[in-house]
Structure 1
């Protein structure tokens, strides 16, 4: 996906409340900061060299966030990403494995060093590697969904 096909920064991608939820839940759950120094919501969305995605708590969770690196990997623009069920990020035969992962995250708070097979909009298959998946919980413990970060990906 080229920069020209990625839409302008949508306001929801820079929402302060969501950004605080994302970085604070990561720090509380994983035990280290998600970002360093003066990196902010705009940096995470537009410049981070790693992918970050998040989905809702719906029975069939919908993506609610995908930074530009994730958009590039999955070949969806923001407006498309935030309308699709997160289960569609994996092919049907791999969805049971993905659900087991998400269930483990719900039980344990997070998992790290995750590797999983995913599918892009075009049908291109790729491995995500170096993944951390965590519960999006606010300071009161209320669950808002789950988020994932992955640092590398390799086409199949």
Structure 2
């Protein structure tokens, strides 16, 4: 799946999947799709990331808040194996979370240690992770959102 920062179709997938699985809106549903995509990427006061369904999933989306948090720009982030967002000792916990989400559709309340490009470590807190599922029921990946980070 090829995603651009302001892809209205991808933003719609993120939002519809989030709403269907969690019962909450990610973006104001009154916004037209192109405005919702721009707001989610450029102005959302929370991080949103998504990865694909490969055996070793790679990031396909990271809004500006997430890029700032992890210190990668769009071109560095997209295609990066998502497992690299956590250090090796912390990957088992992350893998268990993602497996639970694959089975249950979503999970919330997660807290995990992450690492930025510079090596800076930080906690992501009150994380919600959900499956990206299209209208036909095909799982296209997983996404995560969080508002709080704490230095490690």
| Fold shared by both chains (TM-score > 0.5) | yes
TM-score, normalised by the number of residues in structure 2: 0.93
Match of 1:74 in 2: 70
Q: Distance in 2 between matches of 1:83 and 1:111?
A: 24
- Aligned pair 1:19/2:40, yes or no? no
Q: 2-side partners of 1:33 and 1:69: how far apart?
A: 18
TM-score, normalised to structure 1, is: 0.91
Question: Structure 2: where are the runs of 5+ without partners?
Answer: none
Alignment partner, residue 53 of structure 2: 57
Once the 2 structures are TM-superposed, how far is the Cα of residue 44 of structure 1 from its aligned partner?
0.7
Alpha-carbon RMSD across the aligned residues, in angstroms, is 1.1
Runs of 4+ in 1 over 4 A off after TM superposition: none
Cα distance in 2, alignment partners of residues 44 and 19 from structure 1 = 8
- Distance, in Å, in 1 between the alignment partners of 2:9 and 2:42 is 18
Superposed displacement of residue 83, structure 1:
2.2
**Distance in 2 between the 1:13 and 1:96 partners?**
30
Q: Which runs of 5+ in 1 are unaligned?
A: 1-10
Shift of 1:80: 0.3
Q: Equivalent of 2:26, from 34, 40, 45? A: 34
- Residue correspondences, number: 146
In structure 2, what is the Cα distance between the partners aligned to 1:111 and 1:34? 15
